[in-house]
Structure 1
Amino acid sequence: METNALDVNKQSWDQAAPRFFARNPLPEYGPLAPSEEELHLFGDVDRLKVLEIGCGSGHSLKYLDEKQAGELWGIDLSTKQIEAAQTVLKDSKAPVTLFESPMEVNPGLPTDYFDIVFSIYALGWTTNLTKTLENVYRYLKPGGSFIFSWEHPMYNRVRQHQHGLTVDKSYHEEGAYAHEAWSSPAIMQQYRLSTYLNHLIDHGFKVERVIEDVCLADAQKHTNGWYGYEKAQMIPTTLIIKCLKQ
């Protein structure tokens, strides 16, 4: 199942890459979520070594380059996304190293090396959360930060209708499911909030911040068939977690 899901998702992301070019990169953490300019989870990145899991088109790394990060590293499953990131980051001040690889596999990244590992709306694509978090832990220096955002675990369990909201999928249900919003087949993973937190703790991380807030000031920018102002008033769209390697 794991290998098949990776093959399916790679093909799907290669097709969808242009659609997601520069879509919600840092300082944004996700649709209708507070931004890095408000949260300051990264702090001062001057001369720090940073690695993005699911780097997409490279715009989040570009943002950190503008903040004087020391080294820019990225990993992404999609050939097209890596090609886009290479173009976006070609004039970066900091050295850039990109790997085309699933996040479940270490393609040659150094261990105990990075000050910050981060992931913006990508972690839920992993086919194996345990392997991915094991890799992240190895990549980080002791005391380094892992910061990630993903769609809030409640969001896709709830549907908005003309007369309100209904729960149409059990919150207790976890695992792989077909991503219904894409034109080409794609397989995503859903976990409970407690699963994310307990996996992080079990892998040696110290959870520092958990953020479920919404920011409705830019609602018009993000309103579409999936994310919307009315639903976000009731259900958070985005989960943001910062933790430290102990």
Structure 2
Amino acid sequence: MNALSTNKQSWDEAAERFFGRNPLPEYGPMAPSEDDLHLFGDVTNLKVLDIGCGSGHSLQYMRERKAAELCGLDLSSKQIEQATTLLEDSAQPVRLFESPMEVNPGVPLDYFDIVYSIYAIGWTTNLPKTLENINSYLKQGGIFVFSWEHPLYNRVGNKEGVLTLDHSYHDEGTYDHVAWSSTAIMQQFKVSTYINALVDHGFQIEKVIEDACWSEKDVQRHANRWYTYEKAKAIPTTLIIKCRKL
């Protein structure tokens, strides 16, 4: 079974557990939110595409902010079913594609004002092809914003309150995420790899954000989870990048 088939099966099994987990305005656990960063600006009457749309809650956020058109793409049939149900009463046009991000299943080209991806880009099996696709979906001058687990975060372990470097930051490639109950194959890239790949595929970098922030509620919510306050104090959980199509 290849990585895409493995991940599709894993996400179909996990879809209910991740229903509505960390959607916009959140960018990730214990990370700044869109309410803090204002990366999108006013989305009124804009066309938006969500890469790895999951249960559709980030698209719902865009709908509430009066985006003109909503479009989403996700590998998991269960996630697409959930997003369809969530968004079925939308007054705006909504198009959802069940597809890996490495493939264009019929998404229009040079069409969208905004493409974004919230905690999904690291699931790609082919980062260059995914970025090539995303660039092709955007109008010239269009914005691409994505967040993903910071590349340092899973390199460091927390053993009885002591942080230890468990893996080299320089090691890149596929890995089976230990926090998943079933096999889930993700991609490890350095921050510089993401930035250089974006530049190579026709994007101008505007913001790179590695900040961490938390409230008492966040600390309690993430107690004994993969993302913990103890690690977040020393290592950012989330990498956020905003760029623009040249």
Aligned to 1:233: 233
1:149-160 map, 5 Å: 149-160=147-158
- Distance of 2:119 and 2:178 partners within structure 1: 17
Instruction: Say which of 6, 9, 22 aligns to 1:8.
Output: 6
1:163 CA drift (Å): 4.3
What is the CA deviation profile of residues 152-202 of structure 1, one whole-angstrom value per residue up to 9, with x for unaligned ones? Answer: 000000001224211010101001011111111110100000000000001
Aligned residues: 244
Aligned to 2:175: 177
Instruction: Say which of 89, 107, 110 aligns to 1:91.
Output: 89
Helix, strand or coil: the match of 2:15?
helix
Q: For residue 9 of structure 1, what is the amino acid of its counterpart? A: N
Task: State yes or no: 1:219 paired with 2:219.
Answer: yes
1:1-246 map, 5 Å: 4-217=2-215, 218-246=218-246
Decide which moves more: 229-238 or 161-170.
Answer: 161-170
- Distance of 1:245 and 1:89 partners within structure 2: 28
Helix, strand or coil: the match of 2:16?
helix
Instruction: Decide whether the 8 Å contact of 2:161 with 2:230 is kept in 1.
Output: no
- Distance of 2:124 and 2:108 partners within structure 1: 20
TM-score normalised over the length of structure 1:
0.97
Identify if the C-alpha distance between structure 1 residues 224 and 96 changes in structure 2 by more than 3 Å, giving closer, same or farther. Answer: farther
TM-score normalised over the length of structure 2:
0.97
Backbone CA RMSD of aligned residues: 0.9
Unaligned runs of 5+ in 1: none
Unaligned runs of 5+ in 2: none
What is the CA deviation profile of residues 188-218 of structure 1, one whole-angstrom value per residue up to 9, with x for unaligned ones? Answer: 1000000000000011100000000011112
Identity among equivalent positions (%) equals: 70
1:221 CA drift (Å): 2.2
- Distance of 2:223 and 2:146 partners within structure 1: 22
- Distance of 2:140 and 2:242 partners within structure 1: 15
Q: For residue 222 of structure 1, what is the amino acid of its counterpart? A: H
What is the CA deviation profile of residues 94-135 of structure 1, one whole-angstrom value per residue up to 9, with x for unaligned ones? Answer: 110000000000001111100000000000000000000000
Q: Which runs of 4+ in 1 moved over 3 A?
A: none
- Distance of 2:161 and 2:61 partners within structure 1: 41
